[in-house]
Chains A and B, each alone.
Chain A
Amino acid sequence: MSTLAAHEWELWSTTARLVVTEPDALAEARVLTDALLADVELAASRFRDDSEIRNLRPGLNIVSALLADLVREALSAAWVTDGAVDPTVGGALARLGYDRDIRLVERNGRNVAVIRPVPGWRAVGLEGSVLTLPPEVDLDLGSTAKASAADRCAAEIASRLGVGVLVSLGGDIATAGPGPGADGGWQIRVADHDDDPDDQISLPPGSAIATSSTVRRTWSRAGERVHHVVDPRTGGPADPVWRSVTVAARDCLTANTASTAAVVKGHAALDWLRGQGLSARLVDRHHRVHLVGGWPRETGDAA
């Protein structure tokens, strides 16, 4: 049984958490994490004037290898979800009022002038480091870049320092290397909102978990509550069939892609997740829990 060490700090208007299985490695693991996250932020933050993504222009853009990777992952996420997770939702999010750090979003803004389908990921071209954007396409990599960053941090720390590690970026959790405890699993609490039933599971080392929610990161427009998961088909917030969706997968990019897609897919999510062979836990609008695949069952859970 190993002794764990942890750091927790504010990041991207949420909480980052780093846990390692060797306390002596914590400081260096934090340095590696900070460096990698700084790179991701500079490449992909919608809220920094000096980020690469904010300075993209219509037409051809030569982008860094990191941004190319992040865009490539976002396009792949769009592909495997049949467009449910689409990186061209940036304009839609801005029209909904989410054009700045969530803490600064106007809590009771005016009505949204225009809600329309997003341009669509197929309009984006990427060949090597050449990113092609049509006019009026604003990329938002929020659904994939944070999860990818968690994966990258965990892999880098485990590889460089030879320790077991858990990296949580706002609840997007990636692990790498050996796990802690008698069974080797990482103990993960699943708790999206105080009003919802929570859970705790043991996550196998080397795997990941992520939650997407329609009840967190919310604000109001003309008295109507809106959330940040956009349905690309409408350009508006996804129908909140699910209060939250949690998915376990081999990596956090997959987990977050699937949880976000499940929110967008609404009632079709259960069959879609089953078809993907994923383990998932969904909380519906009536606070009922639905389990998919290998998610461990608990007495009293709805099927």
Chain B
Amino acid sequence: MRPPIRRNRRTQQALAGLSVVGALGAATALDLSTQTASAGSDSGSTTTRAHARSGSSGSGGRLARDLRPAADSPTKSPRQSSPTTQQAQPQPAPSDGGAPQATTSGS
């Protein structure tokens, strides 16, 4: 059974492009967003933020509005005794729902 999902629902209202001159005189293109925490969110507060403008290529502004939680939280997996297999060459790996397919660590 999956744990309760925490979602940070925020109403995003892009207002207008705004140029703000940085501390050293460099113009930084910013947008201004009003973020209102909706019922059920953590703070219930309203904040106004400026953020770097999203580019036309589509991916540049993925963080522009907010950090994006996953739609679903991770769930617990059965413990495995062996670490991830090192594979130098392509080879099929069984998908038994238990053996890890990758390892996350700091790098």
Contact = CB atoms under 8 A, between A and B. Distances in A.
Interface residues of B toward A: which range?
A: 35 or more
A288 B47 CA distance: 34
Interface in A193-207: 193, 200-204, 206-207
A200 B70 CA distance: 17
Contacts of B78: 200
Contact of B63 (A19, A183, A257): A257
Contacts of A193: 105
Among B2, B28, B94, B104, chain A packs the most CB atoms within 10 A around the CB of B104
A74 to B, nearest CB: 9
B76 A296 contact: yes
Contacts of B8: 275-277
Contact of B26 (A134, A187, A212): A134
A21 B66 CA distance: 31
Contacts of B107: 14, 170-172, 213, 216-217
B48 interface: no
Nearest to A128: B55
B28 to A, nearest CB: 5
B95 A293 contact: no
B54 to A, nearest CB: 7
Given A132-B27, A213-B106, A279 B101 contact: no
Contacts of B74: 185, 188, 201-204, 207, 209, 248, 279, 294-296
Contacts of B2: 294
Interface of A: 1-9, 14, 17, 19, 21, 23, 26-27, 65, 68-69, 72-73, 75-77, 79-80, 119-120, 122-128, 132-134, 148, 151-152, 166, 168, 170-173, 180-183, 185-193, 200-204, 206-217, 244, 246, 248-251, 253-254, 257-258, 274-279, 293-298
Interface of B: 2-8, 20, 22-29, 41-43, 49-55, 57, 59-64, 66-80, 83-84, 86-107
13 contacts: A7-B90, A19-B101, A21-B95, A187-B77, A191-B83, A202-B76, A254-B69, A274-B6, A275-B43, A276-B8, A278-B69, A279-B6, A298-B76
